[in-house]
Structure 1
Amino acid sequence: MADSKRADVVIAGGGSAGLTAALAIKRGAPDLDVMLIDAAGAKPAGADQRASAIAAAAKRMLDTLNVWERVADEAQPINAMEITDSATGDAVRPIFLTFQEPLSDGEPFAHMVPNGVLTEALKDASTAAGIEIGAPETVRDFSVEGSSVKLSLGSGGSVDARLLVAADGVRSGLRGKAGIATVSWRYKQMAIVVTVAHERPHHGVAREHFLPSGPFAILPLKGNRSSLVWTEREADAKKLLAEDEFVFQIELERRFGHHLGELSLDGPRQGYPLGLTLARDFVRPHFALLGDAAHGIHPVAGQGLNLGFRDAAALAEIVVDANRLGLDIGHIETLKRYEQWRRFDSWQMGVTTDVLNRLFSKENKMLRTARSVGLGIVDRLPFLKQNFIKEAAGLGGELPRLMRGEAL
């Protein structure tokens, strides 16, 4: 007979957002049985070369969940952000906008953390909290039956749960099975991600060059190293990824510049197609979307993961509070609170990144002049800059308790 299990909450997806939601729910409501089902399982070290900007609000949440101490040694504070807008071949790239003011308590508005380090820390903390993380497994299908949801697993087993959370990525299969439609399109761009070592220290300064093909972000890592998120037209990106190291590095140096001295590649190159995907609904009875399954956005503002962290903090708060009141944690009225909290913020960020990418990925000289003037105005108005810093730190809007550094 196929294996059958029971759980209160099942998180389908083992990325950072899914792991954080599982951990936050378990910490806030230890009486709930939380299970995490991950199709990928353990990945080899170095499989994911990406690093993410962890906003100050997300850092406070990870600190409250006792995860930050596990990644602190690899976390690089972002002390300043410089933005330029120029053509690829310009010899001089004037800086039109600079963010270098810390938050009121002296805290940096963000830290860079390698994705692999963060994921492992969340897995270790989740296992220590008593969350079941089994062998690689998939949720093949599910159906709502009364006050529970029955999951059919790829291995032939099944799970009865009160709430299924789909955190299975931007191409979420569970989202489709729930009948949730999306608004989506491709940008015909690809993000090339690679880590480079450089001769001189970066001093914690992040740089974003808006180039005609898309943004070129230089994000500081520990030591004399930086993570690059290089947006290129899709056809050109595929050619660059196929080139030998010598040609690739020449093209990289044209965009990177020489302000940090001699460069060398410090890991393999990886490419990720870019698009926008926004779910029209975030919930169904006993079912909720989380992270990229709810919203896949352009990396121009570096907020994709932080949106997922907000989802995790909001969903955990609602589930934990409902459980304490003796309410059904999977009831549609309970989950609608989560949807109302998170859908507008996600759509707003999706539209913002879409507009930024379209506005700055143009070669028109008149448009570039207008952009430069606009950036210069923002740079000279302290109240506007403070608002931008607040948003980059994830401190805008109605914050979940975990993102204020408060335990559930």
Structure 2
Amino acid sequence: MSAATGVERPRIVIAGGGLAGLSLALALKTALGGGLDVTMCDPALKRDPHGDKRSYAIAAAARRMLTALSIWDQVAERAQPILDMVITDSRLQDPVRPTFLTFAGEVDGNEPFAHMVTAGDLTAVLLEACRAADVDLRPEGVKGFAVQGSRTDVTLTGGEVLPAALLVAADGGRSRLREQAGIGWISWPYKQSGIVATIAHERDHEGRAVEHFLPSGPFAILPLKPEAQADGSLKHRSSIVWTERAENVPALLESHPEDLLVELERRFGLQLGKLAFETKPQAFPLSFGVARSFVAERLALLGDAAHVIHPIAGQGLNLGLHDAAALAEIITDAMRLGLDPGAADVLDGYERARRTDITAMGVVTDGLNRLFSNDVLPVRLVRDLGLGLVDRMPGLKRFFIREAAGLTRQEAPRLLRGEVL
């Protein structure tokens, strides 16, 4: 019996089987092994993970974390490095899109600042590693919880009650567990939706990412790893994140496929040849949201349950992985000192570790979206002048690319520096 937690062996329950939750589970079991039980609960664990065709940018710091967890080699087989990036700013009807800013894709040596990988591929690798690490994977949800002194009793949807030292709510932006804990949520809508899809194209993207700033919002083209075909040829693919005014989205998605393809071509351009939708476009409303606290009694929020930001900088998943790295380190260090991993002072350390970073990223993405998602001429002139100046300042460009890679934080968790816990 542990005096710290009141249970025979400490257990941490993670509600939500997304990428941040899986990364946390793997990090904890890798560091603590049999000294800690980790149970993950999510009905989605029943599904084939490869069905999720969404794509994410894995920044260099997150890649170092996956390396420290000994799974990057498996992920790398399915990942496409971003070798350079081009930023343009124009109106949709402009005949020419001038390039205002370019970035080389390397941050240190030959290390790309980011890789693109599909959610399904990354989830599959994480699930396999979690099973091998003896994470208890339960394909059911968490119905609720009740704190009982030195433990919290977690009730699953099937009725089973699991005593735990800590419950981690990784159940998304509309977290029911966050609401049950009475944690407030500060949010506002952007009146925009993000249309995502995988696009097949004739020519090789050569690892280039493109961000077109348009009045309705940014249009991002993100390179994916080519797929080998039966005849030995390669299918060239990219992921798009098409930000559009919310009122325009229903008509776009309900239009004839050929008409939608015409609208895509107006934004994508024809530099990669003939285009085709490989996956059906899906739209997601965009908003900003942040929890008033990331912790409550024997509860910690993780990923979208703690924060939701605009996808303009492609940092949403990386913030969730940063959460996982920070929480895993704090719990591991506490347990090695014989402390209760769900105690208030331990969780306060997680709050302090993440609040500043998340607030700063929220402010930056909100400001960038407001700056670039408009067609006010004086604002366009000033921002284009600013982009042009940055393009002529190698030191500043290097800082921005390292910031996007997640490598500028001096007190980053050890996993994000590539160090094992």
- Displacement, 1:42? 3.1
Q: Check the 8 A contact 2:9/2:36 in 1, yes or no.
A: no
Q: 1:333 aligns with which of 345, 363, 368?
A: 345
Identity of aligned residues (%): 55
- 1:97 maps to 2:101: yes
1:3-402 superposed matches below 5 A: 8-30=11-33, 31-44=35-48, 47-135=51-139, 137-223=140-226, 224-397=236-409, 398-402=411-415
**Displacement of 1:23 after TM fit?**
0.5
Shift of 1:364: 1.2
How far has the Cα of 1:234 moved from its partner? 1.1
C-alpha change, 1:45 and 1:334, in structure 2 (3 Å) is closer
- The runs of 4+ residues in structure 1 deviating greater than 4 Å are none
Distance 2:36 2:256 in 1: 52
Contact 1:36 1:133 (8 Å CA) reproduced: yes
Distance 2:296 2:339 in 1: 17
Alpha-carbon distance in structure 1 between the residues aligned to 2:183 and 2:137: 27
Q: Distance in 2 between matches of 1:36 and 1:6?
A: 16
Q: Distance in 2 between matches of 1:49 and 1:357?
A: 25
Deviation at 1:6, TM superposition (A): 8.1
* Structure 1 residues 68 and 281: CA distance shift in structure 2, 3 A: same
State whether residues 49 and 193 of structure 1, in contact with CA within 8 Å, keep that contact through their aligned partners in structure 2. Answer: no
Distance in 2 (CA, whole Å) between partners of 1:42 and 1:159 is: 20
Whether the aligned pair in 1 keeps the contact of 2:25 and 2:135 (CA below 8 Å) is yes
Q: Which moved more, 1:365-374 or 1:297-306?
A: 365-374
Does structure 2 retain, via aligned residues, the 8 Å contact 1:51–1:114?
yes
Listed one character per residue, the Cα deviations across residues 192-215 of structure 1 (whole Å, up to 9, x for unaligned) are 001111111111000000101100
Q: Is the 8 A contact 1:49 1:268 kept in 2?
A: no
Alpha-carbon distance in 2 for matches of 1:48, 1:356: 28
Q: Which has the larger displacement, 260-269 or 112-121?
A: 260-269
Give me the whole-angstrom Cα distance separating, in 2, the residues matched to 1:48 and 1:123: 14
Please report the TM-score for the alignment, with normalisation by the length of structure 1: 0.97
Specify the SS of the correspondent of 1:170. coil
User: Per-residue deviation at 1:45?
Assistant: 5.8
| Residues 237-275 of structure 1: per-residue CA shift (max 9 Å, x gap) | 121111121011000000001111111111111111110
Answer with 44-53 or 17-26: which moved more. Answer: 44-53
Aligned-residue offset at 1:7: 5.7
Residues 182, 280 of structure 1: 8 Å contact kept: yes
Structure 1 distance, partners of 2:353, 2:133, is 27
Opposite residue 407 of structure 1, the aligned amino acid is: V
SS of 1:314's equivalent? Answer: helix
